Amino acid sequence: MTTPLFLLRCVQLGLSMGDLDFLTIGLVNDMFTERENDDCHYDVMADQRDFDAF
């Protein structure tokens, strides 16, 4: 990942330069990935029985 791409992702997430003092690059990447996944809808949602069986 390049610096401009990282900074673009920060802007897209609404992060300020001050916020970056408390966040790692990996955490910013995880936040961006989760934001992109917010629009995903799954056909089957796991419930407690599925977790117990896992």
- The distance of Cα 45 from the centroid of its chain, to the nearest Å, equals 20
Q: What is the pLDDT of residue 25?
A: 93
Cβ atoms of 28 and 13 within 8 Å: the answer is: yes
Residue 52 tokens, joined: 């117990």
Q: What is the pLDDT of residue 16?
A: 93
pLDDT in tens, the chain (54 residues): 899 999 999 999 999 999 999 999 999 999 999 998 888 888 888 999 999 999
Burial 19-47 (b: 16+ CB within 10 A, else e): eeeeeeeeebeebbeeeeeeeeeeeeeee
pTM (two decimals): 0.68
